[in-house]
Amino acid sequence: MRLEVRESAPPPGKSLCIAFLHESRDPSAGAPVSVRAELAKACLVSGFGGRDTEIAGALTERGGWVLVGLGPAGNPLGKLRRALRRALREALRQPGRGLLLAFGEGIGRTEMRALLREVAQGDYRFRRYKSDEATRKLPREVRAVVLPPPSIPAAELSEAAREAQALSPVIAWARDLGNTPGNDLGPAELARETRSMARREGLRLRVLGRKEIEREKMTGLLAVNSGSVRPPVFLIGEYVPPRAKGTAVLVGKGITFDSGGISIKPAPSMGEMKYDMMGAATAFACLRAAKRLKLPVRVVALAPVTENLPSGSACRPGDILRMRNGKTVEVDNTDAEGRLVLADALSYAGKFRPDVLIDYATLTGAVLIALGHECAGLMTPEEDLAREFLEAGEATRERVWRLPVWQDYRDNLKSEWADMKNSAGRTAGTVNAAVFLKEFVPPGVPWAHLDIAGVAHLEKEHSGFDAGATGFGVALTMEFLRRHFGLSRESRV
């Protein structure tokens, strides 16, 4: 969707006009000045009061207005997003029309920046597998003009709008990867899609096959792959700007389908395990975003990619693996496979001498139980990284919540036969997974782990997001990198 933020409304045309107004005796009082008189008439004619979920329509000199009620001022972003999505869905049913979106007072600056990203992605659809051509065909690009609340100058949001526009196809790419089923997106296909993206964007990409993975002694990746007929790959992408201020290495879990292996998952919702590669999609989407935004930071993206399936050759509970960094791991549960492939990737990351190391993984169901779909779990022993991620999450509204990685939890991973186990039972599952990963971080490298299992995809509509992959983490990471490397505030989301 083409996005433009303006102080005043464009001349009347073919645009569908939508106003988002809070509850009041006169909801139009807080509307953008250039359309306030029109909206006053529209509210009066329709009897619109701005109540929560209220929708009304009215004709003015400009044409038809759709009035969307937000309830009392101070709404959480989820409610604002739901109202916006509902309106965008209706607008996209009317081909050939642009959009004029007017927002009233009571919406803060941070929320407006987040809503701009939602508008830019408002025409995203995944209809690849719909047989009916009319259903499968994507709508043409829509032009959306945004009038912010009067208290927020349009110029203040112009950079955020440009960035939202730049990130929109990047996030759509990651969402497409996640929404593609496992029969069409195995390791080779993910490598092919990533190679095509890197070629288009002018990024470096290297793909390690099985023999190279064996030479690197990535035993965790090979063990998880042993039950699949599809060979693993290890993806290495790199963006190197001139005069880089430092190096960030991003590691993403790339399990293209996770059955649980021998420790097989229950059948209900197992189809959702096609999303277990969203860590890899996020890491490479961030690589692409850094190039598009011309961040002066060297960014390296790494992804160990495989399926996790049961077969006669699959890794068994009780097997002991000697990992890339020399430590031995007893496989207590083959469904705790993500940490095995990430362990090798984190160890490999040391080759790039990173100033900061971040991993993204749909790692544990426990994080969903703890935090739901509202935020990702953040685990890091570094106070500065924690603060920067928490602040970046608030700024972008892709929130994170910090959980501990205290050494006390290390005892949970004790094994009678190896240096550690890969699982420690049901209690503190998210924390135990992070404590396991910490064992493979190169010494002296600042590291943060993001468990995105609750936010990377949704089984059904939630908080204004449609079902499917969300693209969570791209805006968050761009903001984090700016803060961590001391880049200018002007280009922040």
Among 251-255, 297-301, 303-307, 458-462, the least confident range: 458-462
For 22-33, letters b (16+ CB in 10 Å) and e give: bbbeebbebbbe
CB 363 within 8 A of CB 388: no
Please state the domain extents for the chain: 2-151, 172-486
Segments in 372-418 forming alpha helices (H): 383-396
Which of these, 224, 174, 182, lies nearest to 343 by C-alpha position?
A: 224
Task: Supply the pLDDT for residue 137.
Answer: 54
Tokens found for residue 37: 């008189």
Over pLDDT 70: what percentage of the chain? Answer: 96
Using CB atoms within 10 Å of the CB of residue 489, give its burial: 0 to 12 exposed, 13 to 18 middle, 19+ buried.
exposed
Question: What b/e sequence results for 326-363 when a residue is b if at least 16 CB atoms lie within 10 Å of its CB, and e otherwise?
Answer: eeebbbbbbbbbbbbbbbbbbbbbbebebbbbbbbbbb
Phi, psi of 413 (to 5 degrees): -100, 10
Catalytic hit among 143, 265, 292, 322: 265
Complete edge-to-edge strand list for the sheet that includes strand 143-147: 2-5, 143-147, 99-103, 16-21, 63-69, 55-60
Residue 18's identity, in one-letter code, is: I
For residue 426, the model assigns a pLDDT of: 84
For residue 493, what pLDDT band results from cuts at 50, 70 and 90? very low
* Confidence check: pLDDT of 140 > 80: no
- At residue 139, the pLDDT reads 54
Tell me, yes or no, if 199 is annotated catalytic. Answer: no
Q: How far apart are CA 455 and CA 371, in angstroms?
A: 10
- Topology of the domain covering 2-151: Leucine Aminopeptidase, subunit E; domain 1 (3.40.220)
Q: Which of 415, 416, 458, 412 minimizes the C-alpha distance to 434?
A: 412
The pLDDT assigned to 94 comes to 67
What is the phi/psi pair of residue 466, to 5°?
A: -75, 165
CB count within 10 Å of CB 252 equals 31
Q: What is residue 96's predicted lDDT score, i.e. its pLDDT? A: 61
**Lookup result for tokens 């309830």:** 71
User: Distance (Å, rounded) from C-alpha 212 to C-alpha 201?
Assistant: 26
Q: What pLDDT, on the 0 to 100 scale, is given for residue 490?
A: 47
Q: Is 265 annotated as catalytic?
A: yes
pLDDT tens, 206-246?
A: 999 999 999 999 999 999 999 999 999 999 999 999 999 99
Query: pLDDT tens for residues 272-300?
Result: 999 999 999 999 999 999 999 999 999 99
Catalytic residue among 339, 397, 438, 483: 339
Mean pLDDT of all residues belonging to the chain: 93
The predicted-structure confidence for 314-331, as pLDDT tens digits, reads as follows 999 999 999 999 999 999
- pTM of the full structure: 0.94
The lowest-confidence range among 12-16, 336-340, 354-358 is 12-16
Do 347 and 442 meet the contact criterion of CB atoms below 8 Å apart? yes
Q: Give the CB-side neighbour count of residue 49, counting CA atoms within 13 A.
A: 4
Class of domain 172-486: alpha beta
pLDDT (mean) for 244-273: 96
